Chain A
Amino acid sequence: MDVPDDLHYTPDHEWLRRAGDEGTIGITAYAADELGDVVFVELPKTGGRLESGSVFGTIESVKTASDLYAPVTGEVTAVNDALSSTPELVNSDPYGEGWMIRVRLDDGSAVDALEDAAAYRTRIGG
């Protein structure tokens, strides 16, 4: 299962790609595969607040619904609107076009508390 080296990970299978004081957030290929065909993604609005560890959205596959957990605290600066019409991008390109939201981090060092690729790989047994 693909676990890119340059990302940060949560135990709940979200990833974060940091660029300066911003972070892009999505779910991992492992999570997307576990869920199966994604049919609906509910995301916060631009300008909304994100609290580390709290629910920021919902993702639904044909079979089930799962909460999305914020890896960091910050303000939502962008939302991937493409997911409202093509949620299957989460399955086909979880680290690329399947991204979910972009966040301005309150504290850039919070990213250090997340897992690196090696630790996440161990977590999913890969």
Chain B
Amino acid sequence: MTVVPAQLQRTPLFHRHVALGARMIGFGGWEMPVRYDGITSEHHAVRQRAGIFDLSHMGELWLSGPGAGAALAYALVSDPPRLKVGRAHYSMICTPQGGIIDDLIVYRVADERFLVVPNAANVPAVAEALRHRLAGFEAALDDASLRTSLIAVQGPKARSILAPLTELPLESLPYYAIAEGHAAGVPAYVARTGYTGEDGFELFVHADAALDAWDRICQAGREGGLAVAGLGARDTLRLEAGMPLYGNELDLATTPLEAGQGRIVKLDKESDFVGRAALASALEEGPTRSLIGLSLHGRGIARHGHPVHGPDGADPIGLVTSGTLSPTLGKAIAMAYVPRASSATGTMLEVRIRTSHVPAEVVELPFYQRPP
């Protein structure tokens, strides 16, 4: 039985999840649905049709003012002033030593207005770091996390389900773009972003409007086979898509370079930024360890924390960060950190699962890519 501590926060959709038969768990300080019918069926629904997720636990931090872009360029590893209005990119906020405080998405919704979306558990740390780092810039931070709900609709049918519910031209909204308007009868920012490896949309709405929006989307999606999906399916979907999860692949002891995210670190941007010197020298030296994908060749499922060994089975050389039985591929997959010398595609390694050593092959990430 999962015991849920009393201090967990609840999203405006909490009672809807319970009514839908969700199993609720504590996640990032929130009481969230981990599954409804079952992780596997929810996972397949998102890959084949569409799924709707309550992501209201995620943070929403607004940066506004003439210096908002410059403040973010200083605070993050990416270069938000390069974003056109209405576009977004994946970014990270690092310590001066280059360790990852959080990974996040930055949306530029107006010339001087940015929306930063961190992980639920990291909202306080990210808000504090941003507040500290925007000192001296003409920018103000507004933490709208508690008054904002986030509803994601993901899957090949996401667009056809949502299109009748909004005046926004979804078919012409590019990947990693955001538009302001109405959706499902309520004011919303609609972004073409997600964490599943499928086409899909994320709707930022006022917390008071979340239940109305959720119910309307569920109603409209019934014919298209829209399924309610929990954090369990979100995790297997993102893992197949090779996307890192903070706390598993990313943490304060890990740099964006080790995590295979060097492309988002803009060492060529005009301004200085927190972590620049550390990341520049890390890039020059080359990371000593790399995040890899593993495909298991034996029986068993590699999980977070399982040791990775070389083919000789001697001392462990790394650790599994995430692993599951891939519902789409029907085989056990995992991500792991190993020394760079053992990270080449095709290298045969071993994962120790309890008492047995299971052969595992280094494979390219992502494990799954949606058909074009």
Contacts and interface: CB of A to CB of B under 8 A. Distances in A.
Contacts of A62: 39-40, 43, 232, 236, 324-325, 327
B232 A40 contact: no
Interface in A107-126: 124-125
Interface stretch (A15-23, A31-39, A72-80): A31-39
Given A36-B35, A62-B40, A42 B300 contact: yes
A42 B354 CA distance: 11
A86 interface: no
Interface of A: 34, 36-37, 39-40, 42, 58, 60-63, 65, 91, 124-125
Residue of B23, B34, B41, B325 contacting most chain A CB atoms (<10 Å): B325
20 contacts: A34-B1, A36-B35, A36-B38, A36-B39, A36-B232, A37-B38, A37-B39, A37-B40, A37-B41, A40-B301, A40-B325, A42-B299, A42-B300, A58-B354, A62-B40, A62-B43, A62-B324, A63-B39, A63-B324, A91-B38
Given A61-B39, A124-B1, A125-B1, 6 more contacts: A36-B39, A40-B299, A40-B300, A40-B301, A62-B40, A62-B43
Contacts of B299: 40, 42
B330 to A, nearest CB: 10
Interface residues of B, number: 20
Interface string B17-40: 000000100000000001100111
B289 interface: no
Contacts, number: 42
B303 interface: yes
B325 A60 contact: yes
Q: Is the interface of B mostly helix, strand, loop or mixed?
A: mixed
Interface in B1-22: 1
Interface in B321-337: 324-325, 327
Contacts of A65: 301, 303
A77 B243 CA distance: 45
Interface string B299-343: 111010000000000000000000011010000000000000000
B301 A63 contact: no
B40 A63 contact: no
Nearest to A65: B303
Nearest to B39: A62
Contacts of B236: 62
5 smallest CB-CB distances across A and B, nearest first, come from A39-B325, A62-B39, A37-B40, A37-B38, A60-B301
B237 to A, nearest CB: 11
A60 B325 CA distance: 9
A61 B299 CA distance: 14
A91 B324 CA distance: 18
Interface in B211-252: 232, 235-236
